[in-house]
Amino acid sequence: MESEISKEKKLVDDFEQAAINLLVELRMGNGLDDQKYKKLVQTLIACANEWEKRDSIPKNAIRPLIELYDELYNFSLNYAEEESTRILEAAKNIKMLIQKCTKVRGEVAQEQTKIIAKLLGHINEGGNFFEKIENGKGINEQQFEKIYDELEFIYNQMYAEESFPNVFVTMLIDFCEIDLFIYQYEEAFNQHEEADKIYEAHERIIALLIG
């Protein structure tokens, strides 16, 4: 049992460190480091191989899982064309691996969905929350407050657990990636007030999940 715990801790630690190493290079303006990217892919594949048949994700792995694609995508906006394209392609590949890690198997999906049933109700109230953002309709503040309150309740209920259900982790990733629409609202839709609302909603969710 102890060896299994040690193995999982090393798996998560290796993944988190690989993610940090790659993101530091991007943050310093050095672009996409091929060796560090290759190492990150290797660690994510190892995680996926270990977790794809499970129903939950180790709590210590959740932060890098929910932040990684979001950060890579946003970094792609900070670089010139060729390097931006490389980073974006890397981000897409990383996202596919994350989805493999968090895949919800059909036979457990229904049972896990019960955990977030009320949250799903708020998300779909008056039109799907995420679809409305994607389609340029912005954030309904009353709907968001209901979503946030339920998200906070579920998160606090699960906080003491060693792992989170895949279906909830997938939902957390969706919430953490709403900031990817900010640029679109500012540049394409010319809706700066709505862009600010999305930013504020994103920051509140990140503060809740990460502190």
Decide which of 103 and 175 is more confident. Answer: 175
Of 71-75, 79-83, 111-115, the one with minimum mean pLDDT is 111-115
Q: What is the pLDDT of residue 17?
A: 97
The residue extents of the domains of the chain are: 2-103, 107-210
Q: What is the pLDDT of residue 4?
A: 64
pLDDT digits (tens, 9 = 90+) for 120-144: 999 999 999 999 999 999 999 999 9
Q: How distant, in Å, are the alpha carbons of 25, 87, 163, 180 from that of 31?
A: 6, 8, 33, 20
Q: What is the mean pLDDT of the chain?
A: 91
At CA 29, angle to CA 24 and CA 33, rounded to 5?
60
Whether 195 shows a pLDDT value over 50: the answer reads yes
Q: What is the pLDDT of residue 2?
A: 46
Paired residues of 163 in beta bridges: 58
Query: Regarding beta strands 56-58 and 163-165, do their DSSP bridges make them parallel or antiparallel, or are they unpaired?
Result: antiparallel
Distance between CA atoms of 70 and 180, rounded to whole angstroms?
7
CA 108 to chain centre: 21
Distance between CA atoms of 196 and 202, rounded to whole angstroms?
10
Q: Is residue 140 within 8 Å of 126, Cβ to Cβ? A: yes
Q: Is residue 72 within 8 Å of 97, Cβ to Cβ? A: no
pLDDT digits (tens, 9 = 90+) for 80-92: 999 999 999 999 9
Q: Is residue 195 within 8 Å of 138, Cβ to Cβ? A: no
Distance between CA atoms of 181 and 178, rounded to whole angstroms?
6
pLDDT digits (tens, 9 = 90+) for 136-188: 999 999 999 999 999 999 999 888 888 899 989 999 999 999 999 999 999 99
